[in-house]
Structure 1
Amino acid sequence: MSELRTHDEEARIVGALERSHAGPKAFRTLSAPVWRAGRLSEKDKHLVAVAIAQITRCAFCIEHHAALARKCGATEAEALAVSYVSAALESIGEGTLSVAHGTLAIEDETAVRNTAIARARLAFAQAVFATDAIAPALVWITAAAVAYAQSDDARRQTLHEQALAADAPPEALDEAYAIAVVLRAGAVYAHTLHVTDAFRDQHA
């Protein structure tokens, strides 16, 4: 993507692609229904998307959904809370996550077992998941969706069960997983801006 374009300009290019090419049109058909309020509000859906976009490493998606979350009434503290859920889960790497009485535990990988960094990592993750910036159910819903985006089904199942224990509706989890499906595709789709750049006269 060009550093000379604003996010809004890039969004307009993406919108034009969706009106004129089969692949982008199909993505729009996949994506559009996912953002309608259901058991998750539009605000919460875009917050979940911000967290997932951290995992898919899509700068366009992060900025896009952060802006939409803000328009829906989200605060910076809420957006940072979901972002740090992703950071905490990413820090666990191949470690095994478990939850007891609402508190995270980690069975550390051999490389860091019984080390200061393993203890610090656990304290970091526990602090992140104890945030009061968003509701506990949304913390666990977001975490389950992030684990799905990480392709870690064992971790996803653990977090899914904890979300249910925190009174998250099953349908809200379904909606969060749908967001992950769209964001995984969207991370690649956003990079088609590079493709369109190659086919446009940069001096026009």
Structure 2
Amino acid sequence: MDQTSLFPKTTRTLLDKKAALASDNIEAWRNFSITIFKAGALDEKTKQLIAIAVGHVTQCPYCIRAHTSQAMRKGASKEEIMEAIWVASEMRAGAAYAHATIAMDEMEKQE
């Protein structure tokens, strides 16, 4: 499958059209995003590394691209980014295994 048809290139035109369809919502979301990614108890680089990990778990290609470039701008190394991705991978795999308890519980009921 051609990935460009599944995930279209983000353009200013598409972004502007999306924003115009819900201008109050996009303004609120942009302000929320700006606030969340400001340095606080966590520095900006760490927040971007978290966002990369979450982007991989939620499987959002746009988030992965945006936060990877932001993390690098904030000083993250390629090694730090890959390590964050591996943490996300472990958590995703761990969640799948942990949820096996639900299947086990159901199988026990069928005996």
Same fold (TM over 0.5): yes
| Residues 106-145 of structure 1 aligned to structure 2 (within 5 Å) | 107=15, 110=18, 113-145=21-53
- TM-score by structure 2 length? 0.71
Post-superposition offset of 1:164: 1.2
Aligned equivalent of 1:147 = 55
**1:196 and 2:82 equivalent?**
no
User: Which one scores higher on RCO, CA 8 angstroms, separation ≥ 6?
Assistant: 1
The answer to which structure has the higher strand fraction is: 1
* Aligned residues with identical type, % of pairs: 26
Flag structure 1 segments of 5+ consecutive residues without an equivalent.
Answer: 1-95, 97-106
Greater shift, 176-185 or 147-156, is seen at: 147-156
Greater shift, 183-192 or 170-179, is seen at: 183-192
The answer to which structure has the higher helix fraction is: 2
Alpha-carbon separation, structure 2, partners of 1:185 and 1:150: 13
**Which of these residues, 71, 75, 88, is aligned with residue 167 of structure 1?**
75
Alpha-carbon separation, structure 2, partners of 1:200 and 1:152: 36
Flag structure 2 segments of 5+ consecutive residues without an equivalent.
Answer: 1-9
Aligned equivalent of 2:4 = none
| Residues 1-204 of structure 1 aligned to structure 2 (within 5 Å) | 107=15, 110=18, 113-200=21-108
- TM-score by structure 1 length? 0.41
Post-superposition offset of 1:199: 4.3
Alpha-carbon separation, structure 2, partners of 1:195 and 1:109: 44
| Aligned residue-pair number | 96
